[in-house]
Amino acid sequence: MATSKTVMCSLTHLRPLTCAASASASRIVPYPPDLIKWVTREGGFVHRALDIAQLGSSNGLGLVAKEPIPRGTDLIVLPHHLPLRFTTLEHDPVLHHLARQIPEELWAMKLGLKLLQERAKVGSFWWPYISNLPETYTVPIFFPGEDIKNLHYAPLLHQVNKRCRFLLDFEQEVKRALASVKPDSHPFGGQEVDASSLGWAMSAVSSRAFRLYGEKDQNGDRIHIPMMLPLIDMCNHSFNPNARIVQEEDTDTMKMQVKVVAETAIKEDDPLLLCYGCLNNDFFLLDYGFVIHSNPFDCIELKYDGALLDAASTAAGVSSPNFSAPAPWQELILSQLNLSGETPDLKVSLGGQETVEGRLVAALRVVLSSNVETVQKYDLSTLKSLDVEAPLGVANDIAVFRTLIALCVIALEHFPTKIMDDESLLKQGASGSTELAIQYRIQKKCVIIDVMKNLSRRVKLLSSKETATAEG
Ligand SMILES: C[S@@+](CC[C@H](N)C(=O)[O-])C[C@H]1O[C@@H](n2cnc3c(N)ncnc32)[C@H](O)[C@@H]1O
């Protein structure tokens, strides 16, 4: 739900480890070593048609094909020693101690510690790779406070604040851990590490690492671990990728190597594109620093709240809704949907592949029905499905969809601006993080509008069927 009242926390007031960047593709050093040559020299393979190039103004650098490449062609092969990993074999006890303080959901920080260590190390094996990394990132932890507020969407503001707070606390943790370390065992070569440099490392990893099979665990099974893949991580994202990552055993060394293979035929001058995952825009913005227009996986999060649903239902013209006081049999089904009971999960979503989260559809169908016998004829998966047409009757589904449409209207009204206002702000020439924040909130509102359109179509269809039945 949208809000602008959350207390902001941002890292922009902190001194960055590196000098400030202006261009989006600005790298750690002005003239980094040639990455393709380094990968090849280290025993990797890079298809001769591949080159690194600047792609548009906002996508940074990318890989492009200088000539047509047939489907199935090997494009890049990285031998086992090139990916950067944080493994249990790491010798540094301070790094391990710090890694243990990082919550699982911020896994990128763990590998980020290793990245910072290698960045600080004189003569690091990975320097040719690290020096090619972007100097700054467009993720919201680096937005000025005003632009964090400009996101206008509480669940994301919460995540941004959580990350900023973690980095500020972790900075203190790192300082405490380093205070007693002797200079020759300092994990960062004696360099000071602050929240800004930790944020740089976390963002470098979250925007570039892939989770692939890593070490074997005690049972001999390979576990997924995040890895930074030099050169491969120059590929930008698309939901219609022309390349994919494959892991296979190198027949010479018997070690795992990572490959990029052409998924489709690639035309001359086409960028090489991988799919980073079926993610919503919250993940794309938080982890990668960009937003996808008409993202089919974008969604908005709402709280299942009886009073709110009664208000929505009443506004939709549904008579005497009882979401605030469901009957005991309805309450029982709500507990089965985990929307009631001792530890309910009240977060429900609109948009994405499901259009309306199944638990919310089922809850509305059940609470807006007064007929316990009819409801008991169906299992939960039927009640949750929008593909099953009106299991509890046409009038029930019409009431459900109208309530959901009213809920969408309420959700839209929580945003302090309308899409028209946002678009005129963009036309006036908002730049950098302001533009990104505005694009993000426009997309959230578009998700709601698309859900409303979808539900309106369903109401129209059901109403025409209802009329036809009455007339017939
Ligand atoms: C794995 S890196 C790809 C290489 C990167 N472009 C560079 O300059 O190093 C991921 C980053 O590329 C950019 N990017 C990738 N795909 C994009 C897309 N479809 N639209 C906008 N930016 C994209 C984002 O900045 C993202 O954080």
Task: Give the Å distance between the CA of 236 and the centre of ligand 1.
Answer: 5
Instruction: Please indicate, yes or no, if residue 185 is contained in any of the structural domains.
Output: yes
Q: Is the pLDDT of residue 90 over 80?
A: no
Whole-angstrom Cα distance, residue 171 to residue 63?
35
Instruction: Please indicate, yes or no, if residue 25 is contained in any of the structural domains.
Output: no
Burial (CB < 10 A; 0-12, 13-18, 19+), residue 90, is middle
Whole-angstrom Cα distance, residue 309 to residue 328?
18
Task: Give the Å distance between the CA of 230 and the centre of ligand 1.
Answer: 14
Whole-angstrom Cα distance, residue 168 to residue 180?
20
Residue 46: enclosing H or E segment and its boundaries?
strand 45-46
Q: Is the pLDDT of residue 3 over 60?
A: no
Q: Which of 77, 139, 82, 129 is nearest to 108 (CA)?
A: 139
Shared domain for 228 and 206, answered yes or no, is yes
pLDDT at residue number 61 = 95
Convert the pLDDT of each residue in 252-266 to its tens digit: 887 889 999 999 999
Residues 6+ apart with CB under 8 A from 204: 112, 115, 133, 134, 137, 228
Q: How many helices (H) and strands (E) does the chain have?
A: 16, 13
| Average pLDDT along the chain | 91
Instruction: Write out residues with Cβ below 6 Å of ligand 1.
Output: 25, 58-62, 134, 207-208, 233-234, 236-237, 288-290
Are the beta carbons of 111 and 205 closer than 8 angstroms? yes
Convert the pLDDT of each residue in 203-232 to its tens digit: 999 999 999 987 677 777 778 889 999 999
Q: Domain containing 261: what range?
A: 35-288
| Domain final residue pick, 288, 322, 352 | 288
Shared domain for 283 and 304, answered yes or no, is no
Shared domain for 309 and 280, answered yes or no, is no
Whole-angstrom Cα distance, residue 298 to residue 444?
8
pLDDT at residue number 92 = 87
Instruction: Please indicate, yes or no, if residue 346 is contained in any of the structural domains.
Output: yes
Atom of ligand 1 nearest to the CA of 55: 6
Phi and psi (nearest 5°) for 438? -70, -45
Whole-angstrom Cα distance, residue 159 to residue 280?
14
Shared domain for 224 and 108, answered yes or no, is yes
Both tokens assigned to 279: 């993610």
Amino acid at 338: N
Residue 223: enclosing H or E segment and its boundaries?
strand 222-228
Q: Is the pLDDT of residue 413 over 70?
A: yes
Residue 52: enclosing H or E segment and its boundaries?
strand 50-54
What angle is formed at CA 348 by the lines to CA 343 and CA 353, rounded to 5 degrees? 140
Q: Is the pLDDT of residue 291 over 50?
A: yes
Both tokens assigned to 80: 């086992």
Instruction: Please indicate, yes or no, if residue 434 is contained in any of the structural domains.
Output: yes
What is the count of structural domains for the chain? 2
DSSP state of 87: -
Convert the pLDDT of each residue in 22-72 to its tens digit: 434 699 999 999 999 999 999 999 999 999 999 877 789 999 999 999 999
CATH number of the domain bearing residue 377: 3.90.1420.10
Both tokens assigned to 192: 């000071």
Question: Cα 283 from chain centroid?
Answer: 1
Task: Give the Å distance between the CA of 93 and the centre of ligand 1.
Answer: 34
Going by pLDDT thresholds of 50, 70 and 90, the confidence category of residue 470 is: low
Are the beta carbons of 39 and 46 closer than 8 angstroms? yes
The β-bridge relationship of strands 236-237 and 273-274 is parallel
Q: Which of 23, 443, 445, 36 is nearest to 231 (CA)?
A: 36
Which residue spans within 145-221 are E strands per DSSP? 209-216
Shared domain for 251 and 329, answered yes or no, is no
| Domain final residue pick, 237, 262, 288 | 288
Task: Give the Å distance between the CA of 59 and the centre of ligand 1.
Answer: 5
Edge to edge, the sheet with strand 74-78 lists 45-46, 74-78, 256-262, 243-249
Atom of ligand 1 nearest to the CA of 273: 16
Shared domain for 163 and 304, answered yes or no, is no
Shared domain for 239 and 310, answered yes or no, is no
Amino acid at 405: I
| Domain final residue pick, 267, 288, 309 | 288
Both tokens assigned to 183: 């200079």
pLDDT at residue number 213 = 81
Task: Give the Å distance between the CA of 373 and the centre of ligand 1.
Answer: 54
Convert the pLDDT of each residue in 171-184 to its tens digit: 999 999 999 899 88
Going by pLDDT thresholds of 50, 70 and 90, the confidence category of residue 9 is: low
Q: Is the pLDDT of residue 4 over 70?
A: no
Shared domain for 246 and 98, answered yes or no, is yes
CATH number of the domain bearing residue 115: 3.90.1410.10
- Testing ligand 1's pocket by substitution, the residue of 27, 132, 236, 239 carrying the most ligand atoms inside 8 A of its CB is 236
Whole-angstrom Cα distance, residue 101 to residue 438?
34
Shared domain for 147 and 223, answered yes or no, is yes
Range 274-288 average pLDDT: 98
- Testing ligand 1's pocket by substitution, the residue of 54, 237, 242 carrying the most ligand atoms inside 8 A of its CB is 237
Alpha carbon nearest to ligand 1 atom 19, residue: 237
Shared domain for 370 and 243, answered yes or no, is no
Task: Give the Å distance between the CA of 214 and the centre of ligand 1.
Answer: 24
ipTM exceeding cut-off 0.95 for this assembly: yes
Instruction: Please indicate, yes or no, if residue 396 is contained in any of the structural domains.
Output: yes
What angle is formed at CA 234 by the lines to CA 231 and CA 235, rounded to 5 degrees? 115
Convert the pLDDT of each residue in 354-369 to its tens digit: 999 999 999 999 999 9
Phi and psi (nearest 5°) for 155? -60, -35
Amino acid at 367: V
Instruction: Please indicate, yes or no, if residue 3 is contained in any of the structural domains.
Output: no
Shared domain for 206 and 184, answered yes or no, is yes
Query: Minimum mean pLDDT among 248-252, 304-308, 407-411: which range?
Result: 248-252
Are the beta carbons of 174 and 98 closer than 8 angstroms? yes
In order of 151, 161, 221, 392, the CA distances from 144 in angstroms are 11, 12, 44, 50
Residues 6+ apart with CB under 8 A from 448: 300, 350, 351, 408, 411, 412
Both tokens assigned to 319: 């008579």
Instruction: Please indicate, yes or no, if residue 229 is contained in any of the structural domains.
Output: yes
Shared domain for 261 and 387, answered yes or no, is no
Whole-angstrom Cα distance, residue 69 to residue 63?
13
Amino acid at 361: V
pLDDT at residue number 466 = 76
Alpha carbon nearest to ligand 1 atom 18, residue: 237
Instruction: Please indicate, yes or no, if residue 2 is contained in any of the structural domains.
Output: no
Task: Give the Å distance between the CA of 416 and the centre of ligand 1.
Answer: 30
Amino acid at 231: L
In order of 8, 208, 441, 444, the CA distances from 145 in angstroms are 6, 25, 16, 20
Going by pLDDT thresholds of 50, 70 and 90, the confidence category of residue 331 is: very high
Span between the terminal Cα atoms of the chain, in Å = 44
